[in-house]
Structure formats: C-alpha cells, structure tokens
Amino acid sequence: MTNQQNVVVLDVISRGVSNVLPRSSLPVPKSFSPQDLKMLLMKRFEAENGGAKISAWVDSMRASSPTRIKSSTTASLPETDDTSSWIVHHPSALSMFEQIVAASKGKQIVMFLDYDGTLSPIVEDPDQAFMPKEVNSFLFPIHVYHQPIKLLLIPFFVSNQMRATVRDVARYFPTAIVTGRCRDKVYSFVKLAGLYYAGSHGMDIKGPSKSCKYKKGNQGVLFQAASEFLPMIDEVYKDLVEKTKSIPGTKVENNKFCVSVHFRCVDEKSWAALAEQVRSVLNHYPKLKLTQGRKVLEIRPTIKWDKGRALEFLLESLGYANSTNVLPVYIGDDRSDEDAFKVLRERGQGLGILVSKLPKETNASYSLQEPSEVKEFLKRLVDWKKMSQRAAKCA
Ligand SMILES: O=P(O)(O)OC[C@H]1O[C@H](O[C@H]2O[C@H](CO)[C@@H](O)[C@H](O)[C@H]2O)[C@H](O)[C@@H](O)[C@@H]1O
C-alpha cells in the first residue's frame, strides 16, 4: 500500500468510522492491505446502518402491529372521522353477512383462521392464550320464611363456545388454523382433530388427524418448508434466551421453524437494548430474517414462504388450485396475516377479514372487532349453512 493510499484510509477512519465507533474499538493496522480497507469500510457501514436499524426497529416496535393507518388527508381530523372512513372501506363482516353468503353461492367456502388475536384474545403470557371459556349459570329461587323470594345465580357448567363453534365450522367447511405458533402448541390450545394446522407461519402443515370428508388421505404431515433450518433455529433460540435474560419481561418462544421474542412485558426504556441483543444474535445468521407482530419480534428463515403461500398450498391440497368454485375466507389480526390477505386480493378470489378495533393498513376487505365477533360471524355462517342444507333437502 502506498503512502497516499494510507492517507485516504486514515481519512476515512477519521471522518467516518470514528464518528460511529469509539476510536479504541477500531483495530487500526500499521499498514493497510486492500482487505483491511474493505474490513474498515464494512465496519463503518455496519456501525452506521446498525445504529439506524436499531432505532428503526424500536420505532416499528412502538407502532406495534399492524401499522396504524397514516392518512395524509385525515391526519388533522379527529379519530372518529378516521375510523368511520376506514370502516366504509373495510365494513364489518357481520353487517355485510348477507352479501358475503350471497358471494359464496355455488362455491365451496374454505375457512382459514389465525389463532392469537383471532380465536383467542391477546393476553400478556403467550402460554395462557386459551380460547375463552364461558360460565353458564341459572337462577335458583330461594325462599326463607317471611322473606321475599330471592334468586341466586348458580354457575352450572363451563363451556368453550369458541371451540364448539370452530368444530361446527369444520363440519361444514374445510378449515385450517394458520398461525405463527409451533403446530403442536396451537393444537394444544384448539384441541380439534378435524382441522388442518399450518404452524410456524405456514412452514409446517399437517392434515386432519381424523378422517376428513373433504379430502381423504390428507392425514399426517403434508409439508415442511424449512426442515434444514431446525438445528439453526434451536441454536438461535438458546442464544436469544441467554442474551435477553438480563432484560426483565422478555420471553423467548421456540416456534419450531421460527422464534418469537416477546416484548409485551418489557419496559419501553429497554426496547432498544432488547433490539440490540436480537440484532447481535441475528448478525451471525444471514439465512434468518426478522419480522414483527403484535409486541413480538419474529425470527424466521429467509425462504419465500409465509401464510399466503400456506393458503395456496392448502387450496391445492384440497383440490381447488385453479378452481373458480371456491371461496377462501381468511380471518386474522396481525401483520403476518397480511400475506394471506394479499394473496386473496391478487387472486381476485375470496375474502380477507381483519380483526381489529382500530383502523389499520390492510389488504383485507372486511373487518371484525375482536374474537367474540369472530365467534359470532362463524356461528352465523354455520347456521346459514345448516338452513340452506335443510332448504335444499325440502326442495
Ligand atoms: O399467527 P398467530 O397465531 O397470530 O401468532 C402470532 C404470534 O402469536 C403469539 O403472540 C401474540 O399473542 C400472545 C398471547 O396473546 C401475546 O402475549 C403476544 O404479545 C402476541 O404477539 C405467539 O406467542 C407468538 O409466538 C406468535 O408468533
């Protein structure tokens, strides 16, 4: 290396890298080879972009998921105006129920259901995200001498109407749970054998474990998109547990083909530190990428597979690849569900329903506010199907 080149390199160091990294952290070789130069420039690039990346991550963590709609035209209007204009474009699937069933005339509805935030309300502890139970009770009259009759509310039995509803839905329509969760974990929550399960954001798909009237022979694992990543994901999971253990409230969840780092219970002041730890782990794994959900960072293989591809795969497995006689209905609440909404929009087929109380950027056409409305919508669909079958028998 010539003296002149040395000067250029030192100039790069003094103007650039030293602004980002403390001078002491830079190994400055006595003489520079082209490799040294490359390394220094790369370090500068990483340091600059790393810093930018972390603050972008934190901004995105703040915005939570999916991004709240930013409307330039309505920015100065009160919240209610924003909401009402959004609802015009994403009407409630309950109020549009008649139109929805009319669109399904002559078509087979195939139901795709996300789990967290769709079938179960969002809770702080991901291990406690059960489908809600209802306590059924009755009024028991008690009559004490000379006293007016009193009515006592007696809890009678506990039922899980969401589970019962999803079971009914699966009786009438092929039904799949499509989730970021590990497949076994979501099965332990849903506990229904007659469904398809697409776990790890659709990277792990299994057919119904009991015979399914729609497609015989679909039992067992149908597809695993990223088997070769299993050892890597295990390693990353352990690294993340270790690196984040000093940040109170962090929870790392092993979802088999992906890992979730939850920050719902982490103090906002520690989000940057958490993002930094996650980035430091991810830096060693160029074949993994980071996506984001509701107060969760998700680490996944960089393969072209997502909930949208899983939806297409399942339609194909059910024999509806290029069929016009099918109406896929996908209900979900999170960013990862947007991949499926987008597929439906691009196919010009089917309905995407976003579960959200707030206006959000979405490719879905309809909305429902919360899991209880999802249950209501699914119940109405089952009742409508039962009635139309009865009517067909009588005709
Ligand atoms: O595709 P999904 O079924 O929606 O799974 C996405 C993530 O859901 C879970 O996390 C979310 O729900 C938790 C329980 O309500 C909540 O505590 C968390 O903040 C949410 O992000 C699940 O634990 C993740 O592994 C999934 O990736």
Q: What element of type H or E holds 390? A: helix 371-394
**Which residues, other chains included, contact 188 with Cβ-Cβ below 8 Å and sequence gap of 6+?**
none
Q: In this predicted structure, what is the pLDDT of residue 15? A: 29
Domain boundary assignment for the chain = 3-63, 79-225+305-394, 228-301
Q: In this predicted structure, what is the pLDDT of residue 69? A: 52
Q: What percent of the chain has pLDDT over 90?
A: 64
DSSP state of 116: B
**Ligand 1 atom with the shortest distance to the CA of 262:** 19
Of residues 174 and 213, more confidently modeled: 174
Q: In this predicted structure, what is the pLDDT of residue 63? A: 79
Confirm whether the ipTM is greater than 0.90: yes
Closest CA to 115 of 190, 191, 227: 190
**Ligand 1 atom with the shortest distance to the CA of 177:** 3
Q: In this predicted structure, what is the pLDDT of residue 130? A: 96
- Mutating to test ligand 1, I would choose from 296, 311, 330 the residue with most ligand atoms within 8 A of its C-beta, which is 296
Distance CA 186, CA 198 (A): 9
Can you give 218-247 as a three-state secondary structure string? Answer: CCCEEEECCHHHHHHHHHHHHHHHHHHCCC
CA of 190 to the centre of ligand 1 (A): 14
Q: Are 107 and 327 in contact (CB under 8 A)?
A: yes
CA of 252 to the centre of ligand 1 (A): 11
> 103-160: per-residue pLDDT in tens?
999 999 999 999 999 999 999 999 999 998 887 777 888 887 778 888 888 777 778 9
Q: Whose CA is nearest to atom 15 of ligand 1?
A: 122
CA of 258 to the centre of ligand 1 (A): 12
> What mean pLDDT do residues 266-280 have?
96
Lowest mean pLDDT among 16-30, 83-97, 111-125, 173-187: 16-30
Q: In this predicted structure, what is the pLDDT of residue 192? A: 96
> What mean pLDDT do residues 63-70 have?
54
User: With bands split at pLDDT 50, 70 and 90, how would you rate the model's confidence at 42?
Assistant: low
In the CATH scheme, what is the homologous superfamily, with its name and number, of domain 228-301?
Answer: Trehalose-6-phosphate phosphatase related protein; domain 2 (3.30.70.1020)
**Ligand 1 atom with the shortest distance to the CA of 201:** 1
- Mutating to test ligand 1, I would choose from 116, 195, 263, 290 the residue with most ligand atoms within 8 A of its C-beta, which is 116
The token pair at 186 is 């979501």
Domain over 79-225+305-394 is classified CATH 3.40.50.1000: yes
Q: Which residues line ligand 1 (CB under 6 A)?
A: 114-117, 122-124, 126, 129, 179-181, 253, 255, 260, 262, 264, 293-296, 298, 334, 336
